[in-house]
Chain A
Amino acid sequence: MSRKTETKKLVPQETIDIAIAKAVADGDIVNFRFLFLPYSPLREDSTEDINTIKYSYLLPSEEEENSPKFKSALELVKRPDIREHINRQLHKKGPPQLPSELILMLADNAVSQGKYTSASQAYELLRIRIKIQELFFQQGDEELAKGNISNAVRAYRIASELEYDYGAFPEPLPAVPKYQEHALILHGEYKEKWEECIGYLPIQKFLTESFNYLFLRPEHANRILEKSIEIQTEFLVELIHQIDPNWSKFADNVSKTVPILQELYQEIKSRRERIAQGSLWEDEWVEGLDTEKFLEIPKILLGRKISPEEWWAYLKEIAYLHPASPLFLARQMISKEKEIILPRYNPENPVAIALSLPPLPQPI
């Protein structure tokens, strides 16, 4: 008679400890939560095996095991009360109750590694996200009062990136910057007049547009908009540099477009004169413009040709590479069907000057 034997796999305590410590040290909330799910490879009653190659990412490498971050996480995991809590949850049927001490350490590690979406989820679980966010804003204000713009910008950036998108469907999620989408909204309307273009707005309006575009929530932008224009200007320049360490590449590309821009504006000027003289119909002013030549402008700005060669496609790509660039761009028609994106800003704009953007040909 054959006898059915119940086989339960045994997960060594050491494996449990190091897998959890790795998720904490990495600031990885997704892996951390996964380790407690019903099908977690750490559970004895799960069919999943932690020793298979597909779960190797859950275990630390030799190098990671020697890092101070991992060692301090492991020390906390091994604390008797926490270890007991972990084991109780791994044997529990039903939703686990995660140990808050480990989540707090995980969140801090995530912040220190710039993994803000992970950090915000961990703080949200602990119900302290909004207070932590406020602490970062307060620290930012303190740094501003001391005149330390770089630290202040860092504090504001972290605070803003710990934001949650409560409007996300079907459930709230950490908010993330969507510069490619917002750049399109920023340029949704074709500006007929130069002074209406973002880069030509009066400085306070320009700063308001900029902060609302670069920060995740209007409330965050409002905090810095309460300061003096000088502080806001300095802050914006530093913010752009911190968000985009390759900003100088964009400034170089803008410089390369200057000769073609001059040609374009010269062409527009002569056509306007012809309209005034009556030798050209106003609604035909773009007839015969060398569109191929002017299509080079967005290519130079981006650094490559893309398909489709539409202004919005270039704008999205440029916004992805250089998030702040849409603040210094505008749409321009070059034929009845064709529009391009080109640099346009007031050469006296203090932000443009501080960001080393070259002087551009002036409105005609």
Chain B
Amino acid sequence: MSEELYIDYFSILGLPEDCKTGDVKKNYKKLMKDLLLEIHNISSLTPAELDNYLLKMAMLNAGFYILRDDGRRSNYISHRKKVIELEKKWCEVAEQNPDSQEADRLRREYDRALQDFLTKYMEELVLEAGRDRECVETSNWDPFHERHASRVLRHYRQKLYSQIHERLPYYDVSKPEIDWNERRNFVAKIVKGEYPEYE
């Protein structure tokens, strides 16, 4: 099971889980400085690059904001562990008995926990971090960034949710068996106008 889709602020800041607050600050400042230099060196940003850089800045701010505070850090670690555990538990039960009530209960519980986790650590606290004095000073984050970041963060949060779902047991549809060679042929036929009913 890959855990990287559950936002890992330690790896975003390049730190181990037992790092000291001083290291958090040091790494954050360095990474943010590098990022701002990188942005500064680009003459004009395309909308895709703009979204990408905004997301990177927001994640660094959030990483610093969450990990530098002991309370926020321990909440984040336990919340993340809980979601990972729930995924594991649900997958195990669903594999043995997919139609059981227990599997359905665990799925609902996991889904709620995942949505809460992503909303809190991929949206709420990220925006909150943007209003933190130290983050504002280091990243020059302003209301303009926040306005655009809300849209970018929401999109990214839901994208993560959907990517996580790709590896989970199927429940609302039966498990599809996809022949990717057949899919490639279908796509080629549609594009070339060879699909019989292409209109």
Contact = CB atoms under 8 A, between A and B. Distances in A.
Contact of B187 (A98, A135, A208): A135
Interface in B142-193: 151, 154-159, 161-162, 165-166, 170-178, 180, 183-184, 186-188, 190-193
A358 to B, nearest CB: 31
Contact of A98 (B173, B188, B190): B173
A114 interface: yes
Given A97-B171, A100-B174, A166 B190 contact: no
A165 B58 CA distance: 21
A140 B190 contact: no
A139 B47 contact: no
B183 A151 contact: no
B197 A113 contact: yes
A94 to B, nearest CB: 8
Nearest to B48: A218
A97 B176 CA distance: 12
Q: What band does the interface of chain B fall in when counting residues whose beta carbon is under 8 Å from A?
A: 35 or more
A100 B183 CA distance: 15
Nearest to B156: A166
A111 B190 contact: yes
A158 B50 CA distance: 25
Nearest to A205: B44
B66 to A, nearest CB: 23
Interface in A104-128: 104, 108-109, 111-114, 124-128
A99 interface: yes
B183 A135 contact: yes
Nearest to A154: B191
Contacts of A97: 170-174
A126 B157 CA distance: 20
Given A124-B162, A127-B166, A135-B184, A112 B198 contact: yes
Contacts of A85: 174
A167 interface: yes
Interface in A140-163: 140, 143, 151, 154-155, 158
A99 B191 contact: no
A167 B199 contact: no
B173 A222 contact: no
B173 A126 contact: yes
Nearest to A114: B199
A80 interface: no
A221 B47 CA distance: 9
B165 A127 contact: yes
B172 A167 contact: no
Contacts of B48: 217-219, 221-222
Ranked 10 nearest A-B pairs via Cβ: A166-B158, A218-B48, A100-B176, A218-B47, A167-B154, A167-B155, A155-B191, A135-B187, A222-B48, A98-B173
Interface of A: 68-69, 85, 95, 97-101, 103-104, 108-109, 111-114, 124-128, 130-132, 135-136, 139-140, 143, 151, 154-155, 158, 164-167, 169, 172, 205, 208, 212, 217-219, 221-222, 225
